[in-house]
């Protein structure tokens, strides 16, 4: 996520750091560190604030993140590494803000369901329009062919 929380989604770009990947393995414990180098990462998030604290154990860092409020990044491991950003809300439950995934070392922002459906519907509309234009052209060509033969002859058995 870019520095500005209200920035437009970055779903049309990807990010990877080949030098980092050659130096470190990408796994559940390193994916957030890898992700923190990308343009998707919000450098004002609480993860970054906690990371600046020296001498904390992993447990202390987790406890500190839980007590703080603000944008938080969290990773989940499946076949792809998933990263979510959470925004503070009035409820104690975390509300996901944006979703990202890292697949084969390349980070992507996941588009919203609205964006995916809008794109699919626009493509469907384009395909239907093309089909109707093709049908209209075929009907016009058939009509011209029939006019070339003269008046329409009744079909007699």
Burial (CB count within 10 angstroms: exposed 0-12, middle 13-18, buried 19+), residue 46: buried
pLDDT at 16: 92
Band of the pLDDT at 2, cuts 50, 70, 90? very low
Mean pLDDT for all residues in the chain: 80
pLDDT at 50: 83
Residue 122 scores a pLDDT above 90: yes
Write the CB contacts of 72 (distance below 8 Å, at least 6 apart in sequence).
45, 46, 47, 65, 85, 86, 94
Q: What is the pLDDT of residues 68-108, one digit of tens each?
A: 777 777 777 666 677 777 776 666 667 777 888 888 889 88
Residue 151 scores a pLDDT above 90: no
- Measured CA to CA, the distance from residue 85 to residue 3 in angstroms comes to 13
pLDDT at 64: 80
Q: What is the pTM of this model?
A: 0.60
């Amino acid at each position: 996520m870019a520095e500005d929380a209200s920035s437009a989604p970055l779903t049309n770009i990807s990010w990877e750091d080949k030098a980092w990947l050659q130096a470190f393995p990408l796994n559940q414990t390193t994916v957030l560190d890898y992700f923190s180098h990308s343009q998707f990462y919000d450098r004002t998030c609480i993860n970054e604030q906690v990371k600046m604290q020296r001498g904390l154990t992993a447990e202390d860092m987790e406890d500190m993140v839980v007590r703080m409020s603000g944008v938080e990044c969290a990773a989940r491991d499946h076949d792809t590494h998933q990263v979510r950003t959470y925004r503070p809300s009035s409820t104690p439950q975390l509300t996901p803000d944006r979703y990202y995934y890292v697949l084969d070392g390349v980070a992507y922002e996941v588009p919203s369901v609205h964006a995916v459906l809008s794109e699919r519907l626009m493509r469907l509309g384009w395909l239907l329009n093309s089909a109707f234009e093709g049908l209209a052209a075929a009907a016009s060509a058939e009509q011209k062919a029939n006019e070339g033969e003269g008046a329409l002859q009744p079909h007699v058995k």
